Amino acid sequence: MKNNQHTLKKIYYFQGKGLHTGTYAHMKLMPAPVNTGIRFRRSDLRSKPIIEAVADNVSNTARSTTISANEAVVVTIEHLLSALTGLGIDNAFIELDNIEVPILDGSARPYIEAIVKDGLQDQEVPRQYLTLSQTVEVRNERTGSWVKIEPADAPSADITVDFNSKILGIQSAHWDMNVDYAQEIGVCRTFVFFHEIEYLYRNNLIKGGDVDNAIVIVENPVSEEQLSSLQNLFNLPDVKPTAEGYLNNLELHFPDECGRHKMLDLLGDLRLAGGFFNARITAYKPGHSINTKAARALRAALQK
């Protein structure tokens, strides 16, 4: 498969709070030279350190993907990496003045809408695809999750997600170069189960979560006291469960939006292998931990 490397045509600005830390950040997406890959710069730190977006730098996968190098840490990178991958961007600098990438609407949609209208800058140098000579597979025996990466002439991904949920059931998603990432995958938002919210909040996660950036699934009956507690935690308006089993804060883009969001995450996490791959990806119950382990295993296999 042949294609040139691409970067952004101009600088894009985003700002907002981080999903987990709740910290407010300003972020710039900037063009980068050929063979740069994706690199983050923490402009708020004295030395303005740079972190390369590769699996070797993954330091945490608790509900999102974090990379770090020395003093520099960047949290929740997966949606942005997914957007850059889905749109075909090889090289970019991302400058951030705080620890976490803004969650925005909980999907890759804001990046897509900003970038697509301008198109990409062709850098007139061939893209070097990551091409395997053998199958790579990683498994988590405790959760039953696995990711398999097989040699192929073109990239594709198929996932099956089982949330053990009567609301969501078992969902599947597919992506290849014929699927419109921007319309079919990139717009799909992150999600959380209602019964997880208080626990996550008390454990210093989803500090920036609200009704604008997450689908909330109501798996079990909810009391008025529980709804009141949710409103107090996040200063929410008067919300209630729908008959379909979601909070009435938003409408789904697709019946299987949660499954599609897991594909969004997978594509972002696998970008940490260091570039675009020619491989067939199949995964069962993917998540940030198994995804980034797969990216690390792919990276190791390519270096042999």
Q: Any idea what the CATH number is for the domain that residue 11 is in? A: 3.30.230.20
For residue 126, what are its two tokens? 């061939």
Which residue pairs, CB below 8 angstroms and at least 24 apart, start in 202-206?
A: 204/20, 204/21, 205/20, 205/62, 205/63, 206/19, 206/20, 206/63
Beta strand extents in 1-101 (DSSP E only):
4-8, 12-17, 24-31, 38-42, 50-52, 58-60, 66-69, 72-74, 92-96
pLDDT mean over 165-182: 96
Please tell me the predicted confidence (pLDDT) of residue 221.
Answer: 84
Using alpha carbons only, give the angle 193, 199, 202 rounded to the nearest 5 degrees: 135
Query: What pLDDT band is residue 236 in, cutting at 50, 70 and 90?
Result: low
* pLDDT tens by residue, 5-29: 999 999 999 999 998 888 999 999 9
Residue 99 lies in a domain: yes
Query: What pLDDT band is residue 220 in, cutting at 50, 70 and 90?
Result: confident
Residue 255 lies in a domain: no
Please tell me the predicted confidence (pLDDT) of residue 22.
Answer: 85
Residue 136 lies in a domain: no
Q: Is the pLDDT of residue 34 over 70?
A: yes
The boundaries of the domain holding residue 22 are 4-128
Residue 280 lies in a domain: no
Phi, psi of 133 (to 5 degrees): -110, -10
Residue 41 lies in a domain: yes
| Range with the poorest average pLDDT among 195-199, 246-250, 284-288 | 195-199
Percentage above 70 pLDDT, the chain: 91
For residue 71, what are its two tokens? 């003093």
Q: What is the DSSP letter of 189?
A: P
Please tell me the predicted confidence (pLDDT) of residue 1.
Answer: 46
Q: Is the pLDDT of residue 2 over 60?
A: no
CA 261 to CA 266: how far, in whole Å? 9
* pLDDT tens by residue, 49-72: 999 999 999 999 988 999 999 889
Query: In this structure, which amino acid lies at residue 10?
Result: K
Tally of domains in the chain:
1
CA 289 to CA 287: how far, in whole Å? 6
Residue 281 lies in a domain: no
Contacts of residue 269, defined as CB under 8 A and 6 or more positions apart, other chains included, come to 65, 78, 81, 288, 291, 292, 294, 295
Residue 291 lies in a domain: no
Residues with catalytic function: 288
Please tell me the predicted confidence (pLDDT) of residue 294.
Answer: 97
CA 133 to CA 112: how far, in whole Å? 33
Residue 247 lies in a domain: no
